[in-house]
Amino acid sequence: KQEVTQIPAALSVPEGENLVLNCSFTDSAIYNLQWFRQDPGKGLTSLLLIQSSQREQTSGRLNASLDKSSGRSTLYIAASQPGDSATYLCAVPAGRRALTFGSGTRLQVQP
Amino acid sequence: SAVISQKPSRDICQRGTSLTIQCQVDSQVTMMFWYRQQPGQSLTLIATANQGSEATYESGFVIDKFPISRPNLTFSTLTVSNMSPEDSSIYLCSVKGRKRPMNTEAFFGQGTRLTVV
């Protein structure tokens, strides 16, 4: 059974810092990996989708990498802003095509 | 991408009652899912909503408690029945596209924040 782990569980940084969020998964036979953002009490916003054949995917200040063989992905946020404060979740497809989620990293960017 | 409208966005309900949550998508999609997010937790899959047939439930979730309908490719409902305070959670609808759903991006509605008192 696929298990997804995210570290750290929480992170607080001053505005302007570059930061890295980590995601690991136990079964490397994945089709893709997706990063989401969740604001408190809200739904999920898709940030980046990396296919298994890709190593990196970029969107604005966000860069996600994928190393299937080691079962790891990172989300790099450049020049963090207070508006980036949210919980970040990674997820991989599981049986029946739904997603298995990590427990998330709660990010607070201090102005 | 898909635009998902989920209603209601939040509700406060009395224990013992039922609430039906609606999920409407702006395009035909193959896969529709319902997730639960308990306070401070990550998302857990409740079931896959199947068009025209019974939903496929995950371990720990049963049809009597969480009946699901999916009459067509753009609409689904989840009912939380005979509610108790333990059902207080965010309930989220998710979809994947018609082609190659294993490879495609998943999209989520804005969630329904349910509080049972």
Each residue of A10-62: pLDDT tens digit? 999 999 999 999 999 999 888 899 999 999 888 999 999 998 899 999 999 99
CB atoms inside a 10 Å sphere around CB A5: 14
Asked if the Cβ–Cβ distance from A51 to B103 is below 8 Å, we say: yes
Beta-carbon separation of A97 and B31 below 8 A: yes
The SS3 of residue A56 is strand
Q: Please report which confidence band the pLDDT of residue A96 belongs to, taking 50, 70 and 90 as the band edges.
A: low
Mutate to test the interface with A, among B36, B43, B112 (most CBs of A within 10 A): B43
**Nearest-5° Cα angle at A93, A87 to A98:** 85
Chain B residues within 8 angstroms (CB to CB) of chain A? 1, 6, 10, 31, 33, 41-43, 45, 48, 56, 90, 92, 94, 96, 101-103, 105-111, 113
CA distance to A75, B7, B75, B93, B105, per residue, from B98 (Å): 28, 23, 14, 16, 11
CB pairs under 8 A between A and B: 60
Tokens of B1: 């991408």
- Closest-approach residue (CA) in chain A for B105: A49
List per-block mean pLDDT (blocks of 10 residues) for chain B, which spans 117 residues: 91 98 89 93 93 92 97 95 97 81 78 97
Q: Which residues contact A38 (CB under 8 A, 6 or more apart)?
A: A44, A45, A86, A87, A88, A89, A104
Instruction: Work out the angle at residue B3's Cα, subtended by the Cα atoms of residues A20 and B54, and round it to the nearest 5 degrees.
Output: 100
